[in-house]
Amino acid sequence: MQTDWRDYIVSTPDVLRGKPPIKGTRIPVSLILGYLAAGNTAEEIIKEFPDLTEEQIAACLDYARDLSHSKLQRHYSTSS
């Protein structure tokens, strides 16, 4: 499932102290990533947060991938 995280995740300084939440919620991306890291499936997360969709959960992973990729690029470009 190809998901563009920008369709599902926003970050504004006045909401959750700038932590990016899932659009239209106060659920931070980091919370969903924590559930996934703990081994929970998308279905289990949706049971806990019934307003979420599989697309929103996939967007959290896509966001984390992009974030880690950009941090790695900056790291390698400054260390050479």
Domain ranges for the chain: 5-79
**Tens digit of pLDDT for each residue in 2-30?**
679 999 999 888 888 889 999 999 999 99
**Tens digit of pLDDT for each residue in 50-61?**
999 999 999 999
CA quadruple 16, 22, 11, 65: dihedral sign: positive
**Tens digit of pLDDT for each residue in 41-51?**
999 999 999 99
CATH-assigned architecture of domain 5-79: Orthogonal Bundle (1.10)
Distance CA 39, CA 74 (A): 30
pTM of whole model > 0.85? no
